[in-house]
Amino acid sequence: MKRHTVIDSPYGPLTLVAEDGVLCGLYMTEQRHRPPEESFGPRDAVLFGETESQLEAYFAGESKEFTLPLRLHGTPFQRTVWEALRQIPYGETRTYGELAEALGSPTASRAVGLANGRNPVGIIIPCHRVVGANGGLTGYGGGLERKRRLLDFESGRGVAALF
């Protein structure tokens, strides 16, 4: 059974969704590919204490990684891409082509981009750390302004101020 809560963050409200007590979604407002609200289940603020604690530590600059169990629903290729995203170190970026090459499919940068865009657990699975071949910002489900602010925050060029 799914349950959800909404928390405040420096990047706007975040909707956290869990299935059988395991985090399966983190969605920003106006996020592309955001499932309908009615699919999130009843509201339950108590269930998400550890997720909230780790997000607060991240936004405060006290933690650079997440150690939460996740339940990810996607194709095998999508799950492979999402796992590769988790390997990108805090404060660093990779291009879609570099990710495709790391996955052993150097011509699959477009497919990597599509899988990246379907990431159901933004921030925790850091899809914001993927940039275009020229290093420029490209699509981000939460919007390019959020992506720029997240990258600036992680690189030390910005703060996690309210969106």
Q: Amino acid identity, residue 105?
A: S
Reference 24, options 72, 64, 63; nearest CA is 72
Q: What per-residue confidence (pLDDT) applies to 160?
A: 57
% residues pLDDT > 90 (the chain)? 71
The arithmetic mean of pLDDT across residues 58-70, rounded, is 94
CB 7 within 8 A of CB 48: yes
- pLDDT bin (cut points 50, 70, 90) of residue 162 is very low
CB atoms within 10 A of CB 67: 8
- pLDDT bin (cut points 50, 70, 90) of residue 115 is very high
List the single range of 8-17, 66-75, 90-99, 128-137 with lowest mean pLDDT: 128-137
Helix (H) or strand (E) holding 28: strand 22-28
Reference 14, options 2, 25, 22, 1; nearest CA is 25
127 flagged as catalytic? yes
Rounded to the nearest 10 degrees, the angle between the axes of helix 76-86 and helix 109-117 is: 80
What average pLDDT does the chain have? 90
d(CA 58, CA 61): 5
Q: Catalogue all structural domains in the chain, each as residue range(s) with its CATH number.
A: 2-59 (3.30.160.70), 76-155 (1.10.10.10)
Predicted TM-score of the model (pTM): 0.90
Does 163 have pLDDT greater than 50? no
The arithmetic mean of pLDDT across residues 77-100, rounded, is 94
Active-site residue, selected from the candidate residues 127, 130, 150, 151: 127
Pairing of strands 14-19, 94-95: unpaired
d(CA 30, CA 11): 12
Tokens of 19: 């299935």
pLDDT tens for each residue of 121-137: 999 999 999 988 877 67
